[in-house]
Amino acid sequence: SSVAVHRPTREWHLTDFDIGRPLGKGKFGRVYMVRTKCEPHYILALKCLYKSEIVQSRVEKQIRREIEIQQNLRHPHVLRLYGYFHDEKRIFLMLEFAGKGELYKQLTKYGCFTEKRSSRYIDQMADALMYLHSKHVIHRDIKPENLLLGINGELKIGDFGWSVHAPGNRRKTLCGTLDYLPPEMVEGREHSEKVDYWALGVLTYEFICGAPPFEDLSGYNATYKRIARVDLKIPSKVSPEARDLITKLLQYDPERRLPLSEVRKHPWIVKYRSKGHSTAGA
Ligand SMILES: CC(C)NC(=O)[C@H]1CCC[C@H]1Nc1nc(Nc2ccc(C(=O)N(C)C3CCN(C)CC3)cc2)ncc1C(F)(F)F
């Protein structure tokens, strides 16, 4: 019988890299731009995670799953994880360097994006999510903070901390913002990859309007109620096509949400599909 031989990824060590500028802080440590010392000189992002912090926050299983999932993914809109290594104190993730940085910083800087830019990002997100779902991976944490931009301004899903193999049933308590969670997750019910369809609708709304649709600054419970009731108000500045797509994704019943293949054929997506390059302008 043919034994499946896993191609051994070579052993890597910190000494294999010249450490460049810090790119910022991740959840469990810093991220640095690095370059391999020996030819060919690869430029990478090295994410350092402190084992002590991982153990304290009891997320080692989540980190293991994140590494296992991301290492097996190959897609232009999914950030590559090339490998990892560790020393006594830290785990190092060798990740693809995203040349244009963090998408949420652009969203904060501009306040909101044009519908043309938003449409192109949503098309790329739908493409990436179709790929993830084809491998039975649900992301479950689609939001601007988890998205990066490649050197040509293309979108890259950069974080898989909450992704699981479908179907999922969350055991860990939710932490952080509810804004992107669908009714079935805030109500702790079983959920499928259709949670990512809902999050794509939330993302579309936030790109165009500058804030998520069910945000309620009076707090967690208010947001919870607005999500459970799908209390959706779309501002008049939003075009009819964008309004149509958002409404078709933000459906309480997961079965009624627009499938990703239909999202990619939607008029609001087709009308802006790459007619020439434009990274300039928001
Ligand atoms: C998805 C995940 C949740 N997010 C993250 O991990 C974050 C945590 C910290 C950085 C980022 N992680 C990554 N960042 C990059 N590229 C990058 C980032 C920042 C800048 C930038 O604008 N500056 C340096 C600016 C330059 C100008 N000065 C003024 C401010 C900083 C430019 C390029 N590539 C890969 C990664 C990755 F993911 F592989 F680690």
146 lines ligand 1 (CB under 6 A): yes
Report yes or no: 162 and 175 within 8 Å, Cβ to Cβ.
Answer: no
81 lines ligand 1 (CB under 6 A): no
Going from the C-alpha of 69 to that of each of 54, 60, 173, the distances in angstroms are 18, 14, 21
Report yes or no: 142 and 203 within 8 Å, Cβ to Cβ.
Answer: yes
Report yes or no: 227 and 181 within 8 Å, Cβ to Cβ.
Answer: yes
Report yes or no: 52 and 59 within 8 Å, Cβ to Cβ.
Answer: no
Locate the ligand 1 atom nearest the alpha carbon of residue 98 and give its number: 34
Residue 258's pLDDT is what? 98
Identify whether 259 is preceded by a cis peptide bond (ω within 30 of 0).
no
Alpha helices in 73-175 (DSSP H): 103-110, 115-134
pLDDT of the chain, 282 residues: tens digit per residue = 455 555 556 889 999 999 999 999 988 889 999 999 999 999 999 999 999 999 998 889 889 999 999 999 999 999 999 999 999 999 999 999 999 999 999 999 999 999 999 999 999 999 999 999 999 999 989 999 999 999 999 999 999 887 777 776 665 566 677 999 999 998 988 899 999 999 999 999 999 999 999 999 999 899 999 999 999 999 999 999 999 999 999 999 999 999 999 999 999 999 998 765 555 544
Query: Of 125, 148, 149, 163, which is best to mutate to test ligand 1, by the most ligand atoms within 8 angstroms of its C-beta?
Result: 148
Please give the Cα distance from 219 to 137 (Å, whole number): 31
Judge whether 196 counts as a catalytic residue: no
Report yes or no: 44 and 62 within 8 Å, Cβ to Cβ.
Answer: no
Please give the Cα distance from 143 to 155 (Å, whole number): 12
Which SS3 state, helix, strand or coil, does residue 67 take?
helix
Which residue reads 């104190």 in tokens? Answer: 89
Which SS3 state, helix, strand or coil, does residue 33 take?
strand
DSSP string for residues in 271-282: TTS-SS---S--
Report yes or no: 3 and 137 within 8 Å, Cβ to Cβ.
Answer: no
CB atoms within 10 A of CB 31: 17
Please give the Cα distance from 81 to 147 (Å, whole number): 15
State in Å: Cα 239 to ligand 1 middle: 32
